[in-house]
Amino acid sequence: MVDYQELAQRDGISARDGKIKGVKIITLKVNADDRGQLIECWRKSWETLPTPVNQVYTIIDPVKGTVRAFHKHAQLWDLFHIVTGSAKFGLIDDRKDSETYTIQDTIVIGDKNPTLIIVPPGVFHGWMSLQDNTVLLSIASHEYDRKNTDEVRVQPNHNGYDWEVKGR
């Protein structure tokens, strides 16, 4: 089990649970000086995954409001970090044996609040860019297999999820 108190002291990060069981939201530390910034997005020593990391890729959304949703995996864990821009993540627990089954969660992250979202298998997830040229870094526990995809896709409005940004 991960001791997030220890990680906070050692690495300067903080973590909290999402509304959905198994979802973690890790606030990353920004190391800044006159040369710019360095942000560690993931470390093996954080022990955030039960399996090794096997694939890392980026997605670039050139136009704000682009929705990429929803899908879930049977085996794969996903970790998400916004490098540039900002995004609204939608999550829906579809694990029938989970105490948070059918619960929805919305998490907004961006380059102004460096964050890592950890999504376990069985949770539908998707995201919408909130700024032009938003760049997402995705870290996966398994390689994508085009012949045998580990994913189930549903419509962006699955379970009544609302992607609209509400005025406050």
* Order of strands, sheet of 67-72, starting from the edge strand that comes earlier in the sequence: 104-110, 86-93, 123-129, 67-72, 152-153
How confident is the prediction along the chain (168 residues), in pLDDT tens digits per residue?
566 677 767 888 888 999 999 999 999 999 999 999 999 888 877 777 777 888 999 999 999 999 999 999 999 999 999 999 999 999 999 999 999 999 999 999 999 999 999 999 999 999 999 999 999 999 999 998 989 999 999 999 999 999 999 887
Question: For residues 142 and 125, what is the distance between their CA atoms, to the nearest angstrom?
Answer: 16
Q: Are 149 and 157 in contact (CB under 8 A)?
A: no
Token pair recorded at residue 38:
């360095």
Question: For residues 74 and 51, what is the distance between their CA atoms, to the nearest angstrom?
Answer: 14
Task: Determine the pLDDT at residue 51.
Answer: 78
Task: Determine the pLDDT at residue 166.
Answer: 84
Task: Determine the pLDDT at residue 107.
Answer: 97
Task: Determine the pLDDT at residue 87.
Answer: 98
Output the pTM of the full model.
Answer: 0.92
Question: For residues 8 and 16, what is the distance between their CA atoms, to the nearest angstrom?
Answer: 11
Task: Determine the pLDDT at residue 160.
Answer: 95
Q: Strand, coil or helix: what is 135?
A: strand
Domains of the chain: 4-32+48-145 (2.60.120.10)
Task: Determine the pLDDT at residue 1.
Answer: 55
